[in-house]
A = this chain, B = another copy of it.
Amino acid sequence: MVPHLATALTGPINELEQRILDCMPAIERWFRLEWMEHTPPFYTAVDVRNAGYKLAPVDTHLFPDAWHLLSESMMPLVVQAAQAAVEKICPEARNLLVVPRSSTLDAGQLANLAQLRRVFAQAGLHVRMGSISPDLNAPREYTLPDGDSITVEPVFQQGGRLMLADFDPCTILLNNDLRAGVPGILEDLHTQFLLPPLHAGWDTRRKSRHLANYDEVTKRFGKLIGVDPWLMTTLSQGCGVADIRQPRDVQQLTDQVADLLVKLRRRHKEYGVEEEPYAVLKADNRTAENAIICVRDAQEVAQRLAQLAPQCSKRAEGSPLEWLVQEGVMTCERLHGAVAEPVVYMMDRYVVGGFYRVHPGLQPTDGLVVPGHATVPLSFEHSTQLPKTGVKPGASAPNRFYMYGVIARLAMLAASYELEATDPQLELLEAQ
């Protein structure tokens, strides 16, 4: 079943698709060489947005959940990639501890954990689930719809290792993005592999740092395939800490939004893009997800921030947030008439699947990670899973998906650079 995408296969994005297809062997080799120098995150999911005139990643998740939404036909690919990932990190691995987002699991989270358990069991690991929530004191068993069960157990530290009762894992897989901060129990685990590392959590990450790395990656990639990187990126600017209750800070944010809109209008004119550009002003990390406004005119910034101020102050417990201003990218894709956004899943350096995030009630400019969104597995017909050269751009779903996979891998590569730059152990080495 290929989801019927009203606009997925049309638009000026076709030129980019053609360049990417024409350069396929060179692109694959380029990634291969990059992965010789840089370590891919253990697993990654990237939200991609197709605006018709450009294609850009809008979110790079380093603790992806929703693995159960990948279609069954993709699972052998996931298992094979997991085998490669495990072999690289710890070939002797026997036990894997998965740390879920919380100790209280809803149906979706349970299905996700069951899928991860299945994947890693088939990659040769004994998998158990351990919660870092201090409120879990005893194992809690959940029954799955198919009659199977998932037990979440409380973790404890012993001899500097994170364990469950009768279970000493050599590898710990975090499926928890640590947006509430790094709990002490995960620190100082020097004899176990902690994947992804703690500094991949939103406690450390900044969207602006990710975007800066992505810009660097796409500058070189654009040169490789002879394409303006703007077709794959968003213009953005980190604004640093700003207290939106202070008029001076609001003015500064307003100026930065105005600057960005000027640049965007120039680009739209240059590329003949008819749509009016818009800017997104948002918190620079994910700890304050509601701190976000979209504006077409910098003059709206002050008023819109004033509406946000009460909840932002509450969320940040008084301390002002860091802000980021970023080019907004509409999504041109529609699935059954609703706004749709592809999400590409990767394990190690391999694209292993994806799905569409769909929301019937949303506008093309809205973010889609909101309650109530529906998802449709992005699965392929048997005969259309791999790109086909020689097909007219925009006419082939697999070619479009191949392009999504390339953009998603560029974002993953940026995340890899980002993790290197923030690695506390590397910082320590450099200081010596």
Q: B-contacting residues of A (Cβ < 8 Å)?
A: 24-33, 35-36, 71-77, 79-81, 83-84, 86-87, 91-94, 118, 121-126, 148, 350, 382-383, 385-387, 389-390
Cβ distance A400 to chain B, nearest Cβ, rounded Å:
15
This chain: copies in complex = 2
Q: Is the CB of A387 within 8 A of B122?
A: yes
Task: Sample 29 A-B pairs with CB under 8 A, ordered by A number.
Answer: A24-B122, A25-B125, A25-B126, A26-B124, A28-B123, A28-B124, A28-B125, A29-B93, A29-B124, A30-B124, A32-B86, A32-B87, A32-B91, A32-B124, A33-B91, A33-B92, A35-B91, A36-B91, A72-B385, A73-B385, A74-B76, A75-B385, A75-B386, A76-B386, A83-B350, A84-B84, A118-B386, A122-B386, A122-B387
Give Cα distance in the complex from A412 to B93, angstroms: 22
Q: Is the CB of A83 within 8 A of B32?
A: yes
5 further A-B pairs in the complex, CB-CB below 8 A; given A28-B122, A35-B91, A72-B385 = A29-B94, A71-B382, A75-B385, A76-B386, A118-B386
Which residues of B sit under 8 angstroms from A382, Cβ to Cβ?
A: 71-73
Give Cα distance in the complex from A33 to B87, angstroms: 9
Contact of A80 among B26, B77, B390 (CB under 8 A): B77
Q: Is the CB of A27 within 8 A of B124?
A: yes
Give Cα distance in the complex from A359 to B378, angstroms: 39
Nearest opposing residue in chain B for A350, CB measure: B80
Q: Is the CB of A77 within 8 A of B77?
A: yes
Give Cα distance in the complex from A36 to B124, angstroms: 14
Which residues of B sit under 8 angstroms from A385, Cβ to Cβ?
A: 72-73, 75-76
Contact of A76 among B24, B77, B86, B123 (CB under 8 A): B77
Give me the 9 closest cross-chain CB pairs, A-B, nearest first: A28-B124, A29-B124, A73-B382, A72-B382, A72-B383, A76-B385, A36-B91, A25-B124, A75-B386
Cβ distance A199 to chain B, nearest Cβ, rounded Å:
26
Nearest opposing residue in chain B for A398, CB measure: B76
Q: Is the CB of A83 within 8 A of B124?
A: no
User: Which of A28, A35, A81, A93 has the most chain B CB within a 10 Å cutoff?
Assistant: A28
Which residues of B sit under 8 angstroms from A350, Cβ to Cβ?
A: 80, 83
Cβ distance A163 to chain B, nearest Cβ, rounded Å:
19
Give Cα distance in the complex from A5 to B175, angstroms: 41
Nearest opposing residue in chain B for A384, CB measure: B72
Give Cα distance in the complex from A303 to B79, angstroms: 53
Which residues of B sit under 8 angstroms from A122, Cβ to Cβ?
A: 24, 28, 386-387
Q: Is the CB of B25 within 8 A of A79?
A: no
Which residues of B sit under 8 angstroms from A80, Cβ to Cβ?
A: 77, 80-81, 350
Which residues of B sit under 8 angstroms from A387, Cβ to Cβ?
A: 122
User: Which of A30, A79, A94 has the most chain B CB within a 10 Å cutoff?
Assistant: A79
Which residues of B sit under 8 angstroms from A31, Cβ to Cβ?
A: 124
Cβ distance A160 to chain B, nearest Cβ, rounded Å:
24
Give Cα distance in the complex from A11 to B74, angstroms: 31
Q: Is the CB of B25 within 8 A of A121?
A: yes
Given A92-B33, A386-B122; A28-B83 close (CB under 8 Å): yes
Cβ distance A236 to chain B, nearest Cβ, rounded Å:
30
Give Cα distance in the complex from A79 to B80, angstroms: 11
Which residues of B sit under 8 angstroms from A77, Cβ to Cβ?
A: 76-77, 80
Nearest opposing residue in chain B for A75, CB measure: B386
Nearest opposing residue in chain B for A119, CB measure: B386
Give Cα distance in the complex from A136 to B93, angstroms: 51
Give Cα distance in the complex from A27 to B94, angstroms: 11
